[in-house]
Amino acid sequence: MSIKNFTEMLEYLLNVKWEDIQDSTIERAKWMIADTLFAAWYGVRSPEIQRYIQNAGTTQRDPLNTIPIVGTNFYTTPSNSAMIHGTAMVCNELDEGNQFAKGHPASHLFAPAFIAAIQNDVSGRDFIRAFIIGYEAAARLAYASNMNDDMHPHGTWGIIGGTTAAGLLQQKDNKEIIEAVLLSATFPLATSWEAAATGMTARNLYTGLGSLHAWQALELQAYGFQSSAHVIDHVWGEIMSKGIDYDLFLKDLWSPPLLEKNYFKLYPSCRFTHSAIDALVNCMLENDIDVSQVSSVLVETYGLAARLGDPDPKNRLASKFSIPFVLSALLHGNTLFDSDKEPVFSDPSIRRLAKRILVKEDPDMTAMLPDKRAARVTLKMSDGIQVSSFVRDASGGYDQPLPKNRLVEKFENMLNSTERVEKVELVLQATMQLDKIHFKQWLELIMNKSSEEYRSEKVTD
């Protein structure tokens, strides 16, 4: 086996026709598109992105600013769109992910595919197909290469998903797309897990820059720039990881696609916190817990999650990567949609209890990866009674029924506006019909514009 398996995988995927895609895959992709859209919608409200939009956006579509910014009345250039949307999707830790990839494929491919779909006047069916194929390409590279754990997955292997999806929507031939993918696979960022753990928003920019690289790779390939499978083997087999398992590029390929093994986040915090959250929620549902009587909490979990043990996060992003903080916030009766906001973030009682929550690795749970992400939470009460709950995997995963009602509730929490119920319903109805309508029809619906309004803003590009 060799790196040739990578290009063989790409050839196979690029030849997948709409008729080859199962209904279950299409259905899941639609929910993932909606989920990613709402993540961007929520993320554009972050202060950094608001300032970015004010400087890089226009309220009228013009020959340069042709791409609408989700959740706003602004337009921007394709390059700024890749940066803004890619960054926005990951700002609030609500983007979908894949435990076999150990990261977030959809947030890397959505922005380049979104731009290409607008520019090339594609059908909704074309967009879904490109989304599915791009997702599989990126997730497979991640699965096979098993990137170093000290790196953050944003802005790395996901880049090739955006290049693949956008290349398909640009109607490039297989050879051109593969050459562009070889380029984009050569451009991973040197990311740091510490950027996330310490709450540095450079971590959010990883995905924006990755989306931009994915978009630019197609243009650079057209100019004649080249990379090779040999270079990819070196980058991903030696520099970014401890070695590639070449079998995983082709093993069980499309049976089913890795997209069908994704997870949806139900909590706005790092996925590695979710098993512990679920275990704590079980404890709280099964027992009448008085937070004032909790003397200590022990969290046992898998190695990657056990790193999130800082009880005293210094900023809002870091709080989303702190198991002690999110559990303490929940025990105090807060929702996690409020936990990174004042006055919850600085609540002295939450901070004190967080310092009494210990997180440690259980080697048996680490051995369950990547199939299961387990956690056990044990509360010790002041009277000596202990309350404990164990979960084998976090909620929202592929092996559980799609929690549609909870996803809808999540979307409504993300919009946080008076018309949120109506808006969520409108977007979901449009997205569930995406394979039957034109992409720009879908765009008009989700941007809450009529066809007449959209046509009146058209310009000669």
Rounded-to-integer distance, Cα 340 and Cα 286, Å: 26
260: DSSP letter = G
Give the per-residue SS3 of 344-397.
CCCCHHHHHHHCCEEEEECHHHHCCCCCCCCEEEEEEECCCCEEEEEECCCCCC
pLDDT at 260: 95
* Per-residue tens of pLDDT for the chain, all 461 residues: 799 999 999 999 999 999 999 999 999 999 999 999 999 999 999 999 999 999 999 999 999 999 999 999 999 999 999 999 999 999 999 999 999 999 999 999 999 999 999 999 999 999 999 999 999 999 999 999 999 999 999 999 999 999 999 999 999 999 999 999 999 999 999 999 999 999 999 999 999 999 999 999 999 999 999 999 999 999 999 999 989 999 999 999 999 999 999 999 999 999 999 999 999 999 999 999 999 999 999 999 999 999 999 999 999 999 999 999 999 999 999 999 988 899 999 999 999 999 999 999 999 999 999 999 999 999 999 999 999 999 999 999 988 777 889 999 999 999 876 678 888 999 999 999 999 999 999 999 998 643 334 344 444 33
pLDDT at 418: 64
| Owner of token pair 């699965």 | 143
pLDDT at 460: 37
pLDDT at 244: 97
Q: What is the CA radius of gyration of the chain?
A: 22
Token pair of 39 as six digits: 């993540």
pLDDT at 74: 97
The residue among 270, 298, 277 whose CA lies nearest residue 395 is: 277
Beta bridge partners of 378: 298, 388
Beta bridge partners of 379: 297, 387
pLDDT at 421: 87
| Owner of token pair 């599989």 | 136
Q: Which domains does the chain have, with CATH numbers?
A: 4-263 (1.10.4100.10), 271-391 (3.30.1330.120)
Counts of helices then strands in the chain (DSSP H, E): 22, 8
On the 0-12 / 13-18 / 19+ scale of CB atoms within 10 A, 343 is exposed
The residue among 22, 79, 9, 454 whose CA lies nearest residue 229 is: 9
